[in-house]
Amino acid sequence: MPSQLIVHEDFQSEALGCQRTVVVYLPAGYGRDTRRQYPVLYLHDGQNVFDGRTSYVPGQYWRMAEAADELLHHRRIEPLIMVAVYHGAEKRINEYTPTKTRKLGGGSADLHVWMMTEELRPWIGQRYRVLPHARHTGLAGSSLGGLATMYLGLTQPTVYGKLAVMSPSVWWDHRVILKMLQAAQHPQRQKLWLDVGSDEGSAPFSSTRDVRLLKAMLVSKGWREGRNLHYEEVEGADHSERSWAERAPRMLEWLFPRPR
């Protein structure tokens, strides 16, 4: 059986007070072996993940289904389920940011954390055969979605054991995520992919300087490059779905390698 994309438009979040579209990728063979359980990767900004018709820039999307299909065909990754969660449109900044700023607002990321962790995960677990442990549960996002991914990783380290933090908005609220990371006391060190493009510019986009600061802070807190931290600065890459799509296959292969 080929891979499948299943669109759910009926996921209801009490925390956010709304319905949210969720798109689920099932790997080839999912329906054949009905006892097998799979690791799972949750992705922010779900409009941009699987379909160029729904993406922020029409035609530019992460091509995650194509990437996973290709990597699975060549036996480079383990079969996994991917769950793309649509953002809240005009509420995106509010939901993806941990603090409120005078100019841009924001600050409701804790409600987003509750939705992702306490509502969506059980909802997916009731419908699909996902492995429940943190070491099999990943989270990915870019830009503000990368900031939200880092924040969920800090606040829910026993839930999300794999993080893809792509071009994160470290700049938010005077780099508040660095202060939160510095204050973090949990002993868990998730497997973490961190990247940035050389042509992303300055705020409100990622900058190489800001992401280098995040990498240095991660190392100071116990992450080790090549072991549980992978860091990339991609020459010529800008702040776009096209750029994230280009390095998404490498991210999948590093976070979900095929077991030897």
Q: What would the pLDDT profile of 33-59 be if each residue is shown by its tens digit?
A: 899 999 999 999 999 999 999 998 999
Q: What is the DSSP letter of 193?
A: E
Q: Which residues contact 152 (CB under 8 A, 6 or more apart)?
A: 112, 113, 116, 117, 139, 159, 160
User: How far apart (Å, rounded) are the C-alpha atoms in residues 143 and 155?
Assistant: 19
**Checking DSSP bridges between strand 4-13 and strand 40-43, what pairing results, if any?**
unpaired
Contact between residue 65 and residue 20 where contact means Cβ atoms under 8 Å apart: no
- For the segment 126-163, what is each residue's pLDDT rounded down to a tens digit? 999 999 999 999 999 999 999 999 999 999 999 999 99
Q: What is the mean pLDDT of residues 182-196?
A: 93
Token representation of residue 99: 């603090």
241 burial (CB, 10 Å; 0-12 / 13-18 / 19+) is buried
Q: What is the mean pLDDT of residues 185-213?
A: 89
Quickly state the pLDDT bin for 63 (edges 50, 70, 90): very high
- For the segment 84-143, what is each residue's pLDDT rounded down to a tens digit? 999 999 999 999 999 999 999 999 999 999 999 999 999 999 999 999 999 999 999 999
Alpha helical stretches, state H, the chain? 64-73, 92-96, 109-114, 121-127, 144-155, 172-183, 208-220, 241-255
Q: Which range, of 99-103, 154-158, 189-193, 201-205, averages the lowest pLDDT? A: 201-205
**Domains delineated in the chain:** 4-255 (3.40.50.1820)
User: How far apart (Å, rounded) are the C-alpha atoms in residues 55 and 28?
Assistant: 24
Token representation of residue 23: 């798109």
Q: Global pTM?
A: 0.97
Q: What is the pLDDT of residue 185?
A: 87
Q: What is the DSSP letter of 90?
A: G
51-84 b/e (C-beta count within 10 Å ≥ 16 → b): beebbeeeebbbbbbebbbebbeeeebbbbbbbb
